[in-house]
Amino acid sequence: MSLEELHLNLRNLMSDDYDQLKALMDAVYHDIGGSWPKHTIDKLIQEFPDGQIAIEDDGLLVGVALTVQVDYDEFSNPHKYDDLIGHREIILNDEDGDAMYGLDVLIHPDYRGYRLGRRLYEARKELCRSMNLRAILAGGRIPEYHQHADELTPAQYIDKVSRKEIYDPILSFQQANDFQVKRLLRKYLPEDEQSRGYATLLEWNNILFEPAASVLDNKPTQVRVGAVQWQMREFSSVEAALQQIEYFVDALSDYQSDFAVFPELFNAPLMGLQDRAAQQDQMGAIRFLAGFTERFKSELSRMAVSYNINIVGGSMIEVGDDDRLYNIAYLFHRDGTVERQAKLHITPQERRDWVIEGGDELQVFDTDAGRVGILICYDVEFPELGRLLADQDMDILFVPFWTDTKNGYLRVRHCSQARAIENECYVVLCGSVGNLPSIENLDIQYAQSAVFSPSDFAFPHDAVLAETTPNTEMIFFSDLDLTRLTVVRAEGSVTNLKDRRKDLFDLRWRDWSWKSGANLED
């Protein structure tokens, strides 16, 4: 039969299909009793119609998948096939079950080789996701085991099939469709002589499952990020700077953004409020700038609440309890909470001209729109930090930056893209533009802000979700689908986080609580 002759249609099984179904089951299951009686199939269709899936070719039934709902806790533990069967061969469907159980998958002998089984399995998975069920379970026969039973235990046989040293038509197929062997079932189907009564308990885990008890508390899976490619400009007063900031927060809020993002040290032009002679003292100028931080924190927190938007406040200079200077990114939640992330790695220029110190804490922040991390500019060039954040289930990494030249910008950009790929997360890169020759160390800026994604089929071909015009003040937006991150981490073309060789290497955060007095987690 040629592919051109096929006219396949995927649909739900109907009672009128029984005669064809019986013939198909009798042919496939001739060694273990053949077909179910009609009243069994009718009852199954009546109780769980969506779970009975068929493929027809011009009206000929060529593939079938029969499924029931079950209680996960009961059937993820040892059980027998008979536990699914009630009086008069009625298959026990639990309409309140939180999992699906795959009973049978049958393909007409003349239609094998067309991957129809895979179509049926994908339809089952889609149904499982749409019903928000925990998993698909199945008791899988191992029909080739009888050929190896004299020299291999069932566990050894399963291991060799997993390693592809032995081919088993059922187990090999199940594993190729992302089912994992959870345990060995004994006396599962005693009449199955080919499997010697053994079976594997297989499970496909629905990574999108949300427990019913928490449905009302679920965080959104669609997150809108808005960011400002900010122009460094001279301000006549602090009020003028705050007015410009509020203008952008208002605009981003009007577009219903969940986050408003600003660049690193975006209030640095306020150093220009000093007279020119005072600006020559760079240490004095940066401490002068730090004097505005508390007011900015208060005003940005007010804006976050008033405009109902989380604000990543770029970064600002803070005088610590030790009277040293730190470069701090503040996260202003729209519920009024304020959190902070210090820049950990200080550039030679910051250390030399401003004597800024590096912080010693790193964390992921829980927000109402996902778990986020912040790495300020130079920090993103150290891959260990992104990985430590990814290990805490970070969804979005914000990178406020400030670079003066294109080569400096490209270091930040390329490292940010690498963090998105290796940590399977979104990265939001936000920088400043413009020239301020009258202010020391603010002469020139270069930026092209962007949003990066993992590099896989669910994302843009170049893994760039949004990008600004270089060196132009503007706002930009990107809608981030957090569900896609969940899927790519579990089922992507590559799964970087899952495939790490932790048997060879690991990464830990060193506890500096003895130094800072903070309670840090390893």
513 in a structural domain = no
193/268 same-domain check: no
313/345 same-domain check: yes
| Angstrom distance (rounded) from CA 52 to CA 431 | 54
> Which of 149, 170, 205 corresponds to the end of one domain?
205
What's the Cα-to-Cα distance from 220 to each of 27, 100, 518, rounded to whole Å?
Answer: 49, 26, 32
> Which of 157, 176, 205 corresponds to the end of one domain?
205
178/314 same-domain check: no
Does the active-site annotation cover 264? Answer: yes
User: Any idea what the CATH number is for the domain that residue 457 is in?
Assistant: 3.60.110.10
335 in a structural domain = yes
| Angstrom distance (rounded) from CA 285 to CA 325 | 12
The range of the structural domain enclosing residue 139 comes to: 8-205
521 in a structural domain = no
155 in a structural domain = yes
Q: 144, 264, 318, 350: which one is catalytic?
A: 264
Under 8 Å between Cβ of 387 and 409: no
229/274 same-domain check: yes
At residue 494, the 3 state secondary structure works out as coil
User: Any idea what the CATH number is for the domain that residue 48 is in?
Assistant: 3.40.630.30
Structural domain count of the chain: 2
The overall longest dimension of the chain from CA atoms, in Å, is 97
168/297 same-domain check: no
78 in a structural domain = yes
Q: Which two tokens stand for residue 282?
A: 């760079």
* Per-residue pLDDT tens over the stretch 145-189: 999 999 999 999 999 999 999 999 999 999 988 899 999 999 998
The pLDDT of residue 344 is 96
Q: Which two tokens stand for residue 502?
A: 């932790």
The pLDDT of residue 7 is 82
| Angstrom distance (rounded) from CA 62 to CA 9 | 10
216 in a structural domain = no
> Which of 179, 205, 231 corresponds to the end of one domain?
205
227/316 same-domain check: yes
> Amino acid letter at 224?
R
Q: 203, 299, 318, 343: which one is catalytic?
A: 343
User: Which residues of the chain fall short of a pLDDT of 50?
Assistant: 215-216, 514-522
190/240 same-domain check: no
227/188 same-domain check: no
The pLDDT of residue 6 is 72
The pLDDT of residue 215 is 47
448/399 same-domain check: yes
414/476 same-domain check: yes
116/260 same-domain check: no
305 in a structural domain = yes
Q: Which two tokens stand for residue 94?
A: 């639990």
Does the active-site annotation cover 377? Answer: yes
Q: What is the pTM of this model?
A: 0.79
Q: 128, 377, 415, 430: which one is catalytic?
A: 377
509 in a structural domain = no
155/232 same-domain check: no
Using H for helix, E for strand and C for coil, what is the string for 168-188? CCCHHHHHHCCCEEEEEECCC
